[in-house]
């Protein structure tokens, strides 16, 4: 809400100086477009950083994963989620797979299958990890 208040104050100042009623729309808390940035299937931290950029108040947990790396998951308080299809890292051209992400304020869990490299998963927030199992705490 701090950003919205700053925008409102700025808009009021513009009106006072110019007499024009120009109002800027506040930026959403989380990116809604899956295509705002080129997707890097070799390093899911890139998508994680993009999503964190929309969380100005640092109030969400974020999970990004390759479809085949998820054994199970659940997330509470989802505010945004999405997916994209991209060529698998270092794969033969045409070997497209699905990648998913979720931004949430509540708790949750993610259990990974396969290795834990950044081409398989990346996460941020308040969490506890035991090898392949990540438990997120509410923010």
pTM: 0.73
Full residue range of the structural domain in which residue 7 is found: 1-29
Residues 23 and 79 grouped into a single domain: no
Instruction: Compute the distance between CA of residue 138 and CA of residue 46 in angstroms, rounded to an integer.
Output: 24
Residues 84 and 39 grouped into a single domain: yes
- For residue 24, pLDDT over 50 is answered with no
Residues 103 and 127 grouped into a single domain: yes
Strand-pairing partners, residue 61, are: 104
Residues 6 and 44 grouped into a single domain: no
Residues 118 and 132 grouped into a single domain: yes
Residues 87 and 44 grouped into a single domain: yes
Residues 66 and 86 grouped into a single domain: yes
The mean of the pLDDT values for the chain is: 81
């Amino acid at each position: 809400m701090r950003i919205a208040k700053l925008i409102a104050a700025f808009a009021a100042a513009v009106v006072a100086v110019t007499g024009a009623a120009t109002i800027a729309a506040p930026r959403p808390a989380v990116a809604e477009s899956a295509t705002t940035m080129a997707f890097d299937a070799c390093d899911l931290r890139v998508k994680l950083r993009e999503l964190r950029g929309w969380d100005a108040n640092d109030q969400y947990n974020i999970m990004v994963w390759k479809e085949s790396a998820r054994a199970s998951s659940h997330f509470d308080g989802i505010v945004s989620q999405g997916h994209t299809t991209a060529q698998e890292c270092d794969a033969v051209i045409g070997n497209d797979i699905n990648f998913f992400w979720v931004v949430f304020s509540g708790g949750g869990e993610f259990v990974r299958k396969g290795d834990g490299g950044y081409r398989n998963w990346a996460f941020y927030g308040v969490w506890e990890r035991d090898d392949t199992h990540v438990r997120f705490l509410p923010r």
